[in-house]
Structure 1
């Protein structure tokens, strides 16, 4: 059974797994599958008028080399600016005017096709995509290949057989670390996703605001009882029925009594079997529907709120959290302590950002306190209570970067004081040496 790393960052839904031993870090956030139809809003980069711009261009082709028209080529600036997109032409060519800087390129296939979206040069995850250098000149002649996939489709309904709209069908290959991609159901409860051939876990998440609870394909109440879906051809009828569960409601407040908006309230068993998160509203109120059982509850706030993430009945350490038995509806409130922001950047020795790195802070006894993920720019930010810490960066799985402490060696001690301003810790990660003879 695959077990994710602690401190999940989540989607509207969110799911992930936790592990009580280091490295402790957020499970990769589930991403929305590419748009499959409708008009495309092409955003203009947010940059000063005098900022230099360059052309990013290339061609989109299929596995057999034929040109793909109508694909959506989307530029993602690493540091600033909006995502900009353009359609490929009849010869597969596309061109984008982008702000000077480092960029990543995502290509989404035409609506209705059986092709799989890709990040340049050829990966399904943005953190593994190549940085494109448009700091001083145009970059052209990029060749993007979209692979053929299989269409998986089905319907979500409740126990009465009524369609459940705006639910999410989330899938993750069993061969890799947990990395969910989700598609939403339409008004008839139907969904469709195109995936590469392989084995998948399928996790269905009902919309918030009801008593409906999550299910795992085929009839699983949790990940342990779910089945693996083998995709070797187009599959229809991958359906699910959402049962009703118990409601946990409550309010999340800062130590000052101020409601914490947009926090994520996440629930899972002590041994992870399927994490689900729901957001708080402007009043700090939340609602989660869950099956009967015993659970741990985590509260994850934005760093802009000035509060430290915590667990119900405990502090930042999940091992001290209070296990809550759910046998009916419950009301559970939380008060999150104040903290200071530790922020910085993670780069490789080549100067390029290392997206997807998990940065974790440990007290001097080695206990995990808080963690955060570096974005496309390589920047991260985590809230910490007053104390003394060592901070370590864990590069994403599948890369050759080596984990390291801020300050090198066993790490320098970073002290966070109540009256201090934000603290900074930057990382430069080395790559693992290549064995001799290779």
Structure 2
């Protein structure tokens, strides 16, 4: 499961480094070459809605293996692309497969290990998810320095093939009878998510508005249908609803950080893109080191309590960037980044694990899909908002614009603290609720 999650994150991060080189080699402009990244992002969002139904129909293990096989083949197609159109089409195929990998993998793990060990297992998976975007820019820079851009995709092949060979160890189980596919709901949601993600990520108001409209239509449709493509009735469980709210806020803060901190080093401190990527590795190391501890804490104390502590730590490690001078001591900056990475490990993963613990095994396919959707949408909106704040404030200087943006990022983190408190209260209430036994039999 970790290999699939790692490949999905690595591929997105590695390719961004090579867009300029790809554009020159394929004789196209950077605006067109940008769709090598954009197509992946939009396709990833488009495939999420079908994941729950497909996991029931095929079984999550078969779905995961199929998605990984398509992803690996698509990587090879990207490497041999001779035109920009071919490359974008192959990247769309990659994105469709990648959107299925993480939810299907989470469903497999949730069914295999049970709620008592779910925290530590999800934390292990989280290490792969965290390290991929951290090492991606570095790997991409090294590949482009010594090799050519097709190797950005060829490096996926050995990992993908090894993971496919290891797939015989997965608990396959059997497929279910999920009922007829909700075509109308799938169409509405498959339009809503890419439009929202694209409109937010690239500040396009019309796609964003259309996406929100389609999303509202899907909610109205799903609540009337007996078997919708995604069961929104899960949100009637307070702990699940609170966990999703926490995950959405965490997604906004996490993806917002992914936008702000590279700008902090490049605009504020004058670093080159590759140097900025290397300077951010300390945050990923902090996350990777603390995630295993975070998982064990979740299994012992619950996702809400750990996410609340992590949210408070996230606020505490974001505030300094909103008040310090942009040229603050480098050692201090690296220490804050390391501590902030540790705080992310305590704030993000516990929220998603709390959502999975709040549902039954049968509901996991819908739950994993929905949690990934709210995290992605929250991330897209957060990233877009913080980019706009920086861009609008540059007239008064990069330092002032960045400090203002980190102030808003602190506010988003405070919202995450409030949602985590709600999750902690909801989990406590569900534990204290008395169990009634039907003695009529």
TM-score of the superposition, structure 1-length normalised? 0.25
Greater share of residues in strand = 1
Greater share of residues in helix = 2
